[in-house]
Structure 1
Amino acid sequence: MNNRSRFLLPLGAALLLGAAVVVHFLLSGPVASAPAGTSPAPTGSPAAGSTAVSTPGAVRTQRAGPAKSEPDVVASEGRSATVVPLGPGDVVPEPEVENAPPQRNDPIEPEKPQTAEWKHGKLVRISELMARNVERLEEERAAAEANGDKEEAKRLAVQLSRHRARLEMLNKQTAALAGQASQERAAQ
């Protein structure tokens, strides 16, 4: 494939896509919008007998049956919109107001002190989780050896040795913090 065809194919696709977008916007016509200070025009249910809403024939025959609990579809200017009735507990959001003061956020609570007792509790919890991981890895390694998967068993053995080393470090840190936590409790 030469360089020219590499350039022309995406360029042609981009031009075709751009032309399709332009044609879509030209043929769809202008979109009517209500002024900023007024509320949108009310849309009624087609079953209410509103004659102001134009409904395509396919949709009209579809609605001729008994009323369903599904949302109503109201067609205007060839487009359809889904109208969902408000349920209990639903709150309609307030419209945005220009030049409104910014919303006040709740104040940020100060960080709680990280005492030796708190750190000791965290390390104990982390050590428990790491011990569970070591047990799980030992079971997985034994299962891999039983299945004859030597590569997986080797990978799990390396991971197991790393977890054991980390667990040993955590146990040393926990023992050191246990002494600090007991001194902290005695000082209080």
Structure 2
Amino acid sequence: MDILTPGKGIITTKSGVVTEVTENKIVLNNETFTIKEKPEIPEQTKIFPEFFSWQEIVVKQNQKVRKKELLAEGVTLIKFEAHIWVFSLLVIAIGIVWGIGKAAVYKHIPEYFPNEVGIVGGMVGLIGGLGGFIGPILFGYLLDFSDLWTSSWIFVFVISAVSLYWMTNTIKKMTHKEAPHLKHRIE
């Protein structure tokens, strides 16, 4: 499966005239922009996805450009040759793990917050909604900052680990306060 998507392009920081255009650079007002060339793309890839990115020039020599105008557009090719069974197993594994996590959260709400079920359930929904809105924006910034396509997964892992730690400690403190004789027993 080949997925062709937009990638990181080059945008002008100020207005001017393009003085030189070659295969690997653009000169604008004595400022040089390096163009990432198209890599050699193999016919077949391995089981895991491979990413190839490059830039294609969209301006011509002696062209006047304005601030924030596109000089070179980015192109990203994702090649994924995995068999349907590998893909299916990965999707099922992710669904099981996320389902267990969601069930655990909603199990703990009435158990540990019996008088505030509606408030806490609403906060969980609100945080989930904010994550769905803010997450993709943060993922874009993380990609720009780190140039790692997996930075979004790293971010989700860190947030999940911090949330797990926070939830575990909160439940332990509540258990120690309400039932000190169960202090050393963990569910």
With the length of structure 2 as denominator, give the TM-score of the two structures.
0.23
Of structures 1 and 2, the one with the larger relative CO (CA 8 A, separation 6+) is 2
Higher normalized helix content (fraction of residues): 1
With the length of structure 1 as denominator, give the TM-score of the two structures.
0.23
Higher normalized strand content (fraction of residues): 2
